[in-house]
Amino acid sequence: MTTMPTGLTDRQRRFVDAFVRCRRGKQAAITAGYGEKWAASAASRLLKQPEIAAAVARRVDPPANPEPVSQLSPMEYLAQVMNDPEVRLERRIKAATALLPYVHARGPAAAGKKAGQAAAAKRAERGRFAPSAPPLHLVKPPTRKG
């Protein structure tokens, strides 16, 4: 069992989800993967833990003054998901990966094909294949008298 960022394991998180749905501790424990023989005592033990009790309370009792629904831009939404400790780690990583190109630009090495070819041509112009300088006109051109 891996510990999630909120302090709940996967099994505990499944227990909270099942308990919110059915409101029966023993059935929620069985659904979460605890053995049938010990499900009732496991449910009692789990519901006494402060982290689990707080998670159940947040899910069962919505806030009295819900926040108004705001129109988030996709970037704001991804940033919100990425920074939310209640969201599963896999989803947070996917949000961070999707947000990455918009926050950090690619380096010069990762430029596109045409930009890379243009940069290579500029480098070649300065090297061995650079055009030679035009001849200098040291002598004045003859003037016509007429």
pLDDT number for residue 32: 93
Which helix H or strand E contains 75, and what residues bound it? helix 74-83
* pLDDT by residue, tens only, the chain of 146 residues: 443 446 789 999 999 999 999 889 999 999 999 999 999 999 999 999 999 999 998 888 766 666 666 788 888 888 998 998 888 899 999 999 998 888 777 665 566 788 888 888 888 888 777 777 777 777 666 677 75
Alpha carbon separation from 69 to 66, 72, 85 (Å, rounded): 9, 9, 20
CATH number of 10-60: 1.10.10
First to last CA, the chain: 104
Cα–Cα distance for residue pair 101/1, rounded to 1 Å: 33
- Give the separation between CA 114 and CA 121, rounded to whole angstroms: 11
Q: Where are the domains of the chain?
A: 10-60, 74-103
